[in-house]
Amino acid sequence: MAATRRDFMMSAAAIGAGYAVLRSNGIGRVLAAAEDVRDVPPEMLAGEESFWFDVQQAFAVDRSVINLNNGGVSPAPRFVLDAARRHFEFANQLPSRNLWTILDPQVETVRKRLARAFNCDAEEMAITRNSSEALEIAILGLDLQPGDEILSTAQDYPRMLNTIKQREQREKIVLKTFDYPTPPPSLEFLVGLFEKNITPRTKVILVSHMTTYTGQVFPVQRISAMARARGIKCIVDGAHAFGQIAFDGGAIGCDFYGTSLHKWLTAPHGTGFLYVRKENITGHWPMMAAPDPKKDDIRKFEEIGTHSDAARLAIAEALVFYEGLGPERKEARLRFLRDRFARRLSANERVTLRTSLDPAQSCALATLNFTDVDRDKLVAHLWNQHKIVVSPISHPGAEGIRVSPNVYTTLGEIDMFCDVIEKVLRDGLPA
Ligand SMILES: Cc1ncc(COP(=O)(O)O)c(C=O)c1O
């Protein structure tokens, strides 16, 4: 039976003393706090500041700046950084032995943990340095003929579209894109646009699970099913989705899923993964040559030579943090933080939301457009005068500033940002 808000307040008060002893370590605080509220619905917990205070303290971030660009890349909790530092120092003692023969094999445990979190077989999980590497492996490794088409949207990530454009120049593969209004009228509308733009030459669909410019969620399960029914490979760009919204990766039904772990999973920088559906592994070319490129071994996509294991091993700690916090709780909190600034600021008629606030269509990110405030000057003003970081978006039709808080963001920080924006709307930008 779901606990009521009163139950939550009473249990938090009773147990508060208990978890105080764990407060010397960020992760201990978070896990204990999460245990205390295990029956509280995520939407109810989203606004309980006493719970989120413990989560905020797990991050050693610089509070003299306000970072509202966590969509770009995010800080990791202290406990994750500590693990990476330990691995880095251990490897450094005797690299040829500690790095290659002790730490390298431990990556297999991380593979299994990631596969459990995404819900796939560990033999379908390749660990990469980011989404870009993962998705370039997916896009470049497919055998295609001149004239074959790859269908995507004009708002997919530029590097991924450039990867296809490079195939256009080298091999006469054709990139076809369509654009859509932001926000779109519905999820059905987006599926319909993909369906309408398929031609007999379409061999691949590249779709973002959540887009870079406005954080629009695409119904990737339905798009994958539609592609599969037509014999089209479906590559999902999950750079923003994994770790931000709770979902079952195994249920998507796509052929490839690439993500970064240094955005929303808050793993160390330079971490990502590529899921490759089992049936695709053998035929898919690795981007960096492997001894047997047509082997049925997911590790053939990880032939990058000597590299640090510190970041990739500490993915394990980032997963412990995420799972201990609870994916549904994190998602609800992120949406709560986003709604706080998006609803307040969009009450002003000179502010337009490029992002739908429908929970099925978005989560942590919102892009705000201002009718009569210069975007680039506003971004500069936010940083120069207020040390607030947001991301400028210039895609035609989606222009604005993208604002993306994270679980360590405080309500006070969001309110300070809103105060500054309202002052600019009232008084204009300083000359
Ligand atoms: C949708 C999307 N795909 C791919 C990427 C590339 O991510 P990375 O730089 O971590 O490889 C980004 C980065 O912002 C993104 O927003």
Question: Do 125 and 245 share a domain, yes or no?
Answer: yes
pLDDT at 26: 73
Ligand 1 nearest atom to the CA of residue 135, by list position: 4
Q: Which residue has the tokens 């309980």?
A: 48
Residues 301, 202, single domain; the answer is yes
Ligand 1 and 240: CB distance under 6 A: yes
- In angstroms, the CA 384 to CA 199 distance is 49
- Per the domain annotation, does 144 fall within a domain? yes
d(CA 170, CA 47): 52
Measured CA to CA, the distance from residue 39 to residue 63 in angstroms comes to 32
Of 320, 353, 382, the position where a domain reaches its end is 320
Q: Is the CB of 130 under 6 A from ligand 1?
A: yes
Are 177 and 316 part of one and the same domain?
yes
Say if residue 412 is exposed, middle or buried (CB neighbours under 10 Å; 0-12, 13-18, 19+).
exposed
Distance 135 CA to ligand 1 centre (A): 9
From the list 389, 401, 403, 251, the residue with the least C-alpha distance to 337 is 403
Q: Do 40 and 116 fall into the same domain?
A: no
Same-domain check for residues 42 and 139: no
Residue to mutate (ligand 1; options 152, 212, 395; most atoms within 8 A of CB): 212
Which pLDDT band holds residue 28 (cuts at 50, 70, 90)?
confident
Answer yes or no: do 152 and 250 share one domain: yes
Q: Per-residue confidence at 36, pLDDT binned at 50, 70, 90?
A: confident
* Contact indicator for 220, 254 with CB cutoff of 8 Å: yes
Looking at residue 19, its pLDDT comes to 43
Same domain, 148 and 237: yes
User: Per the domain annotation, does 25 fall within a domain?
Assistant: yes
> What is the per-residue pLDDT across 166-185, written as a single tens digit (0 to 9) for each?
999 999 999 999 999 999 99
Domain-located, residue 183: yes
How far is the C-alpha of 376 from the C-alpha of 157, rounded, in Å? 21
The tally of domains found in the chain comes to: 2
How large a percentage of the chain has pLDDT more than 70? 94
Query: Token digits for 192?
Result: 């319909």
Task: Give yes or no: residues 101 and 237 share one domain.
Answer: yes
Residue 398's nearest CA partner among 339, 346, 353, 347 is 353
Residue nearest to atom 12 of ligand 1 (CA): 239
Average of per-residue pLDDT across 149-155: 98
Distance CA 74, CA 225 (A): 32
Is 384 part of any domain? Answer: no
In this prediction, residues 126-154 reach a mean pLDDT of: 98
Residue numbers of the domain that contains 15: 1-51
Mutation test residue for ligand 1: of 73, 129, 132, the one with most atoms within 8 Å of CB: 132
Q: Please report, as a single letter, which amino acid is at residue 379.
A: V
CATH classification at residue 194: 3.40.640.10
**What are the strands, taking DSSP E only, across 228-329?**
233-237, 256-260, 272-276
**Ligand 1 geometric centre to CA of 425 (Å):** 31
Q: Does residue 98 share a domain with residue 44?
A: no
Residue 414 pLDDT greater than 90, yes or no? yes
Report yes or no on 196 lying in a domain.
Answer: yes
The last residue of one of the domains, among 11, 30, 51, is 51
For residue 352, pLDDT over 50 is answered with: yes
pLDDT recorded at residue 29? 78
Ligand 1 atom having least distance to the Cα of 73: 10
Reply yes or no on whether the pLDDT at 79 is more than 90.
yes
pLDDT confidence band for 1 (50 / 70 / 90):
very low
What's the pLDDT tens digit per position in 101-135?
Answer: 999 999 999 999 999 999 999 999 999 999 999 99
Question: Does residue 376 belong to any structural domain of this protein?
Answer: no
What does the pLDDT read at residue 27?
79
pLDDT computed for residue 25 by the predictor: 55
Whether residue 139 sits in one domain with residue 45: no
Is 339 contained in some domain?
no
Question: Measured between alpha carbons, how far is 292 from 300 in angstroms, rounded to an integer?
Answer: 8
Which pLDDT does position 242 carry in this prediction? 98
Q: Which of 247, 42, 64, 235 is nearest to 156 (CA)?
A: 235
Range list of H helices, 230-374: 249-252, 278-281, 310-313, 315-325, 327-346
Q: What is the pLDDT of residues 186-199, one digit of tens each?
A: 999 999 999 999 99
Say whether both 11 and 95 belong to one domain.
Answer: no
| Location of structure tokens 């590299």 | 307
Q: Distance from the CA of 335 to the center of ligand 1, in angstroms?
A: 20
Least confident piece of the model among 12-16, 24-28, 124-128, 242-246: 12-16
Tokens of 209: 């699970």
Contact 126, 273 (CB under 8 A): yes
Helix (H) or strand (E) segment spanning residue 353: strand 351-353
Band of residue 141 on the pLDDT scale cut at 50, 70, 90: very high
Last-in-domain residue among 10, 31, 51 = 51
Residue 301 lies in a domain: yes
- What's the rounded Cα separation, in Å, for the pair 220 and 201? 21
Q: What is the pLDDT of residues 38-57, one digit of tens each?
A: 889 999 999 999 999 999 99
Report the C-alpha gap between 146 and 1 in whole angstroms: 59
Mean pLDDT of the region 345-364: 98
Asked if 31 and 140 sit in the same domain, the reply is: no
Average pLDDT, the chain: 94
CA distance 243 to 323: 10
